[in-house]
Amino acid sequence: MGELTARIDAALKRFGRVAVEGEISRPKTVASGHVFFTLKDARAAIDAKIWRGQLQKALPPGMKLEDGARVVCHGTLDVYAPYGKHSLIVDRVEARGIGALLADLERLKAQLREEGLFDQRRPLPRFPRMVGVVTSRDADAWRDFLRTRSLRWAGYPVRIAHSRVQGKTAANEIARAIQALDRSGVDVIVVCRGGGAIEDLWCFNEEVVARAIHACSVPVVTGVGHETDTTLADFVADHRAHTPTDAAQTVLPDQRAIRDAIDRQSAYLGDVIERLLAHREERLARAGRSRALNFPGVLVQERAQRLDGLGRRARASLEARIAERATRLERMASRLERQSPLARLARVEERLGALHGRLQSHVDRRLEVAGERLGRAGASQVAAMERILERATRRLEPAARTLEAVSPLAVLERGYSITQTAGGVVVTDPTTLAKGAVLKTIVRGGEVESTVVEARAKPAKE
């Protein structure tokens, strides 16, 4: 058995690399990270494996192995000896048919998500004035929608925009129907279709439909296929319903529920009004039984007595305050009289008179003492001053004689003179004088003013 299995394995190895096209069935990722699935067609099936280390390289970006996807798997054949089963070890996967479309869809989905088309979530109006529906008028989805409308609110305003919901031209028709309803003034738009194969629903995965939904000025609700079906339109819409019936329940108000709510609120409001009226009646009855309304004269008499008491208290309080203020004024007048300028001036004059007498007697005594001291010291001080003057005179006499001897005035007394220019400069060199210069000559008896006629220098000695 082992030898046979080895020969089979060697024979399969001689095939080398193979490319097998088929439909994926039951894809499964185990805990170790390896991926196992079955590749089948109408006539046969083969187990396939992608090892964890080859997974990122084997699958194109954005591609997922999904049940029913048609692919081409590249790899080598292998035999697992313990079970005697052969399998395909896959190292590259290519999408085919719907599989290729799914790969393109994933790329488009990533692009639209990056552009922000999946982030729009506007609130739905609670009571839309007009509901627009994009679907085929011959489809079960439209009949389901109308049936749900009859159950929730018969005759509620609904406007249909007919469009194919399957086929090559369906996507463009759906986009145009959405745009037409948006221009017609509806408050909310429902895009719906019944269930079907993924190929039948593919028009709702087209980019033109997604962009038409995103550009719509009113909220859009999608109800395409069954609960498990998800299309690109569902990601862009403001709200996704699982089915057309669910979409109708989402946008159409429930008249019965609203009436029940109104009835409950009416009952609650009636109960509140009754309790309020009962409370007011009770207050009115108590007021009717009150002594003030039944005997108004007594109330007036009580108020008058109260006013009299308040008046007496006010007068007594006022008189007490007046008496207190009068006493305070008397005390302040007495203090003011004691502190008046005339009284203070009289006290100051009296004090000044006493101080003046004391000062006069003190001065007289000091003068007497000083006179006595001066009398004793006067004679000795005068004699000392005379002696000082005499010594100073004797010291100044030689200096006076010397000064008198060298004085220019003494020279003038002997017949000499001093000649100066008009500016007061003593003339010592006649050559410095210009003809006509004004001179001043100082002599013993005064000054002589003259003009230079001629100036000659003293002849040099031979």
Run means of pLDDT, 10 residues per run, the chain, 462 residues: 74 84 89 91 87 88 80 88 84 74 82 93 95 95 95 95 92 96 96 84 93 96 86 95 94 93 92 92 83 73 86 90 89 77 72 78 75 66 72 73 65 72 76 77 79 75 50
Asked if 198 and 70 count as a contact pair (C-beta separation under 8 A), the reply is no
On whether both 191 and 146 belong to a single domain, the answer is yes
pLDDT score at 400: 67
Q: Tell me, yes or no, whether 298 lies in a domain.
A: no
What is the tally of structural domains in the chain? 4
On whether both 95 and 176 belong to a single domain, the answer is no
Q: Tell me, yes or no, whether 365 lies in a domain.
A: no
Tokens of 249: 């329940």
**Secondary structure element (H or E) that encloses residue 286, with its range:** helix 255-289
d(CA 125, CA 252): 10
At 299, phi and psi to the nearest 5?
A: -60, -40
Asked if 86 and 4 count as a contact pair (C-beta separation under 8 A), the reply is no
On whether both 57 and 22 belong to a single domain, the answer is yes
On whether both 141 and 92 belong to a single domain, the answer is no
On whether both 130 and 249 belong to a single domain, the answer is yes
The alpha-helical segments, DSSP class H, found in 32-165 are: 55-58, 98-115, 140-152
On whether both 73 and 164 belong to a single domain, the answer is no
Q: Tell me, yes or no, whether 378 lies in a domain.
A: no
The CATH number given to whatever domain includes residue 19 is: 2.40.50.140
Q: Tell me, yes or no, whether 305 lies in a domain.
A: no
On whether both 207 and 247 belong to a single domain, the answer is yes
pLDDT score at 97: 62
On whether both 58 and 137 belong to a single domain, the answer is no
Burial of 106 from C-beta contacts in 10 A (0-12 / 13-18 / 19+)? middle
d(CA 78, CA 80): 7
pLDDT score at 124: 96
On whether both 134 and 233 belong to a single domain, the answer is yes
Residue 157 C-alpha from the chain's centroid:
48
The CATH number given to whatever domain includes residue 229 is: 3.40.50.2300
Asked if 156 and 146 count as a contact pair (C-beta separation under 8 A), the reply is no
Q: Tell me, yes or no, whether 11 lies in a domain.
A: yes
CA distances from 75 to 35, 50, 61 (A): 14, 9, 19
Q: Tell me, yes or no, whether 157 lies in a domain.
A: yes
Q: Tell me, yes or no, whether 263 lies in a domain.
A: no
On whether both 79 and 139 belong to a single domain, the answer is no
On whether both 100 and 130 belong to a single domain, the answer is no
Structural domain containing residue 444: 412-425+434-451
Q: Tell me, yes or no, whether 231 lies in a domain.
A: yes
How many CB atoms are closer than 10 A to CB 359?
11
d(CA 204, CA 141): 15
